[in-house]
Amino acid sequence: MQELIVILIDGLVFSSYLFMVSVGLTVIFGVMKILNVAHGSFYAFGAYMSATLIGAYYNTDLPEFGGFLAIFLAALIIGVFFGIVLERGLLRFLYHRDEHIIVLATFAMFLVLEDVLMMIWGTDPYYAYEPMALLGAVDIVELTFDVYSLTLIGLAVIVGLGLWLGLTRTKWGKLLLAVIFDREISQAMGINVTVVFTVTFVVGAIMGALGGAYIAPTISVSPGIGVEVIVLSFAVVVIGGMGSIPGAMIGALLVGISRAAAVHKFPEIELFVIYAIMALVLAIRPEGLFAPAQARKI
């Protein structure tokens, strides 16, 4: 019983983390049909920026809880900057090209950014544990969990709900849905698709950066953290159905809880249980669990 609760809580925390890092990817894919490998860089840059800002913040005498602002500020800076630079500076020249070419261009961008990251922050790890220490720990069924990790669940719910409401209940969301449904027609109807694309890409980038920024206090921020995130979020997004936000949530839950179970029960399969689930889901439902139906082109 106790083990089950531990698996459940660990799983939920890990799922929230997965959702945070993959939702940006799925939003970008849903609207722009671009599989953005550079998403891993957004995550890594977000984590580094957040660690730096938190460090700087706690060197001042400002109130302690303000450290959380630093996290969101970091995500915003990184997301807006890289979102605009990448979309305006690179991707818009490639929209008419083959989708594989665009994936490869973002892969190239990822390689470049990986080294830029090391140019800026060097190879030494960064720590920014203050926000985590601030919240302390809590006992659940005689086991200690740190509160900070648990807040991740709340954040994931807020982000998920926010995106979903924004997409289905606002004018902007409706415009976006129109663009997703048919890019050319919506352009003909007077929707400024160029702006929609840029905004979507920036929002997706902020999401990716926020994932990294929020997780930064719980890890040692060091080179190479972006690589693993990409394949993980690919798996989540593909399981849920590319471009679907509820799909990303279900995918994250599925992957997160199975991994937590694997870690506790069969640690030797931990590394590939995620990809095994992905392969299994794709074998049964090729488009993922929640993918919108596609028209057959003749």
- Binding region for other proteins (CB under 8 A): 35, 90, 93-94, 97, 99-101, 103-105, 107-116, 118-119, 227, 231, 234-235, 238, 242, 268-269, 271-272, 275-276, 278-279, 282-283, 286-287, 296, 298
Q: Which is nearer to other proteins, 114 or 146 (CB)?
A: 114
Q: Kindly report the CA angle at 256 between 252 and 260, in degrees rounded to 5?
A: 175
Q: In whole angstroms, how close is the CB of 279 to other proteins at the nearest point?
A: 5
One-letter amino acid of 129: Y
How do beta strands 143-146 and 137-140 pair?
antiparallel
Report the DSSP beta bridge partners of residue 6: none
Q: Which is nearer to other proteins, 124 or 268 (CB)?
A: 268
Q: Which is nearer to other proteins, 55 or 223 (CB)?
A: 223
Q: In whole angstroms, how close is the CB of 235 to other proteins at the nearest point?
A: 7
Q: In whole angstroms, how close is the CB of 84 to other proteins at the nearest point?
A: 18
Structure tokens at 128: 């920014």
Q: In whole angstroms, how close is the CB of 165 to other proteins at the nearest point?
A: 28
Q: In whole angstroms, how close is the CB of 230 to other proteins at the nearest point?
A: 8
Q: Please, is 24 exposed, middle or buried when counting C-beta atoms within 10 Å of its C-beta (0-12, 13-18, 19+)?
A: buried
Q: Which is nearer to other proteins, 113 or 216 (CB)?
A: 113
Cα–Cα dist 237/143, whole Å: 32
Cα–Cα dist 153/12, whole Å: 7
Q: Which is nearer to other proteins, 122 or 166 (CB)?
A: 122
Cα–Cα dist 223/150, whole Å: 26
